[in-house]
Amino acid sequence: MRTYLDCYPCFLRQALAALRLITDQEAEQKRVLDLVMQTLPTLPLEYSPPRIARTVYSIIARETGVENPYREIKIASNRQALAVLPELTRIIERKPNRLRAAASLAISGNLIDFGVQHEGFKVSEGLNGQFPDHFDFDDFSTFEQQLPETKKLLYIGDNAGEIVADKIFISQMKVAYPQLEVGFAVRGAPIINDVTIVDAKQVGMTEVARVINSGSRAPALLEDEMSPEMADWFLHATMIIAKGQGNYESLSQSELPIFFLLQCKCPVVADDLKTPVGSTIFKYHHGCQAE
């Protein structure tokens, strides 16, 4: 998905939110924002929003010396989500279709996004057991049909906190289909509240999946910047699941088939998906060659 002019205010808002975590000096915030604003016009609209966001956050890290301003927020998000893990697991196990309920939980968890919702977010509001048992964009039946034949599944993660819901979803898939080999892809470096190896280990993701460093330093997977291990999984996985708006923005034109799971949180993505803001999305992308 390309970048639109509507994305520019969001880039600046995100940059300011990160800077306010780093410093309370308005002059310093303005100095770095000015550099961001000088750089944005040099980046082509053909770039995906995550590719541009990577440049924005690299400017912030370079100028402030702080590479992980969301570190404490991510740790707290993971802890809050882990605290409700037993309750959420019990809720899932009481559902008639545990796999569908776990998928719904994973999508509900996608609300934990400080890139979009910079004012903050309580994990309990997104992972409170009241997640809907339906999807506004519903290709779940296609997923169910393909899963029994899936041997190697690549799950591309999104944000800290919500990865606890991802862990539950992966666990349910492996209970139903023990043959599954699952790889869980994380970012190659800290950016916003996106999941890294540290976050994945904090929630015990290694109990259900092989954690893979994607090599991507953007808030999404960039296909041309994958680590060798990530590229191997991406090209040879029987099934790919990509969580969150960022991964949709960067992979929606991929040649490979991908299941996109996300909450639609902004008008630009909503227009691209042709669905209202707030929609729950379980979309099967057949791959550009097939389309």
What pLDDT digit, counting tens, does each position of 54-86 carry?
999 999 999 999 999 999 999 999 999 999 899
What pLDDT digit, counting tens, does each position of 226-236 carry?
999 999 999 99
Alpha helix (H) ranges present in 40-115?
49-64, 71-83, 85-93, 98-109
pLDDT of residue 91: 87
C-alpha distance across the termini of the chain, in Å: 15
Rounded to whole angstroms, the Cα distance separating 56 from 36 reads 6
Q: For the domain 71-285, what is the CATH code?
A: 3.40.50.10880
pLDDT of residue 289: 57
Are 203 and 167 in contact by the 8 Å Cβ rule? The answer is yes
CA distances from 158 to 10, 93, 155, 247 (A): 18, 24, 10, 8
Structure tokens that stand for 198 in this block:
């540290």
Please tell me the least confidently modeled range out of 110-119, 126-135, 174-183, 223-232: 110-119
What pLDDT digit, counting tens, does each position of 3-50 carry?
999 999 999 999 999 999 999 999 999 999 999 999 999 999 999 999
Rounded to whole angstroms, the Cα distance separating 269 from 237 reads 26
The fold adopted by the segment(s) 7-64 is Helicase, Ruva Protein; domain 3 (1.10.8)
How large a percentage of the chain has pLDDT more than 70? 91
Residue type, 245: Q
How large a percentage of the chain has pLDDT more than 90? 83
Are 27 and 63 in contact by the 8 Å Cβ rule? The answer is no
Rounded to whole angstroms, the Cα distance separating 47 from 55 reads 11
Residue 207 pLDDT grade (very low, low, confident, very high; cuts 50, 70, 90) = very high
Mean pLDDT, range 200-214, rounded to an integer:
97
With a cut of 50, say whether residue 126 has pLDDT above it: no
What are the extents of the domains in the chain? 7-64, 71-285
Please tell me the least confidently modeled range out of 50-59, 117-126, 139-148: 117-126
Are 265 and 117 in contact by the 8 Å Cβ rule? The answer is yes
